[in-house]
Amino acid sequence: MKNIAVLKCLVLLIVVAFPRFAVADSHQIEVFEDVAIPSSPGGESQKVMIGEVEDVILVPWTISLPARIDTGATMSALDARNVTVRNNVADFRLGKEYGDFRLQLPIVGWRQVRTAVGIERRPVVEVGICLGPKLIRTLATLSDRSQMTYPFLVGRNVLNGSFMVDTSRSKAVQPVCYPALSSSSLK
């Protein structure tokens, strides 16, 4: 319990120290380069049971997205519409059903991804997510997932060592990294 309280205090400190990262204004969200996402103190050894589908929160924007947990995917993927790349920064929008927010994130690399129609080259960005009680900074590819049911795919890069997946369950845990904030605070 003490570790969770410490984590909550750290998250609130980040939000207070960097308020422009936590509030979306006019549906535009800026790049977050200096926001530190702490690892869960002492939580590395505790595995969290999650289901086949879970809600995640994009950090620091507190945008809630349903996510498919995919143990077969090497890397996570984020639904990104109208992706443009300039000066090694990906500029994209989330789907209308998730606020149509515009995000700009630095590209940390490119990845060849095998799809049903062949191989695609996709940009890779670093994003923060809250999954259950864990606040995680992870890599994710950007692609248009509008034809998919879930806008976020959680891959093995997030799951390894921290989670156990029970495919018979869905929404087994709620994201609790931001208890003082809710997505309804985003106008």
What does the alpha-carbon distance between residue 40 and residue 42 come to, in Å, rounded to a whole number?
Answer: 6
Give the mean model confidence (pLDDT) for residues 55-78: 94
CATH, domain range 2-180: 2.40.70.10
For position 115, what pLDDT does the model report? 80
pLDDT tens per residue across span 15-45: 434 433 333 333 333 334 444 444 444 445 6
Find out whether 40 and 3 touch, Cβ atoms under 8 Å.
yes
Could you tell me the pTM of the whole model?
0.73
Domain boundaries, the chain: 2-180
What does the alpha-carbon distance between residue 55 and residue 76 come to, in Å, rounded to a whole number?
Answer: 14
What does the alpha-carbon distance between residue 171 and residue 175 come to, in Å, rounded to a whole number?
Answer: 10
Query: Is residue 69's pLDDT more than 80?
Result: yes
Confidence of residue 103 (pLDDT cuts 50, 70, 90): very high
Burial class from Cβ neighbours inside 10 Å (0-12, 13-18, 19+) for residue 63 reads buried
What does the alpha-carbon distance between residue 143 and residue 83 come to, in Å, rounded to a whole number?
Answer: 8
